Amino acid sequence: MKAEYINPFLESAKIVIEQLVQIKPATGQLGVKDIKFVENYIWIQIGLNGQMNGDIVFGLSEQVALKMVSAMMGGYVISEIDEMGRSAISELGNMISGNASTILYNQGVRVDITPPKLIQSAQSAGFNATQALTIPLIMDGIGELDIQVLIAS
């Protein structure tokens, strides 16, 4: 697994979050992490096909998701992740991945992305990978968004 796989997603996530949430996220420590699914956590899974095959997964606690959706909706306070909240969080993952695929294309790597799949329970995750290349984005006043790259080849 190569560290440069995560860089386009990290760069894209910083840009998209800054535009949508008006917060400049700080970058945490890059590492390899065992995949563990915990409750009260949301994952946005996007498949990668082409010269890179695997999944990009964005993970965040429900509390962080609520704060992000509220910020995305202009400060309107969201108290639960309803259909609108799921749609907003999915679109966040879609925007980050779409921008990252453009960055990859400009670097000569052809990759298509699948529509986002929102996973709210550990049982429905269904990942085969046991480890991921991971880096957290720390958003002041909101919390962390964990970017995990699971590359099959």
**What pLDDT is attached to residue 54?**
83
**Distance (Å, whole) CA 53 – CA 114:** 11
Which of the residue ranges 27-31, 48-52, 61-65, 121-125 would you say has the lowest mean pLDDT? 121-125
**What pLDDT is attached to residue 123?**
53
Q: Give every CB contact of residue 136 below 8 A, 6+ residues apart in sequence.
A: 27, 28, 29, 144, 145, 146, 147
Whether residue 17 is contained in a domain is answered as yes
4-36 exposure pattern, b = at least 16 Cβ within 10 A, e = fewer: ebbbbbbebbbbbbeebbebebeeeeeeeeebe
Residue 121 vs residue 101, higher pLDDT: 101
Model pLDDT for residues 70-84, shown as the tens digit of each residue: 988 888 888 888 898
What is the identity of the amino acid at 77? Answer: V
CATH number, position 132: 3.40.1550.10
Model pLDDT for residues 5-60, shown as the tens digit of each residue: 788 999 999 999 999 888 899 999 888 877 766 777 888 989 999 998 888 888 88
**What pLDDT is attached to residue 153?**
42
**What pLDDT is attached to residue 73?**
86
Task: Calculate mean pLDDT across residues 132-138.
Answer: 87
For residue 87, pLDDT over 80 is answered with yes
Whether residue 28 is contained in a domain is answered as no
Helix axes 83-106, 62-72, angle to 10 degrees: 80
- For the whole model, what pTM was predicted? 0.86
Domain extent for 95: 3-23+34-151
For tokens 């699914």, name the residue.
Answer: 37
* Mean per-residue pLDDT of the chain: 85
Please name which of 84, 90, 145 lies closest in space to residue 98, comparing C-alpha atoms. 90
Count of domains in the chain?
Answer: 1
**What pLDDT is attached to residue 129?**
57
Cα–Cα distances (Å) from 45 to 76, 106, 117, 118, in that order, read 26, 23, 5, 6
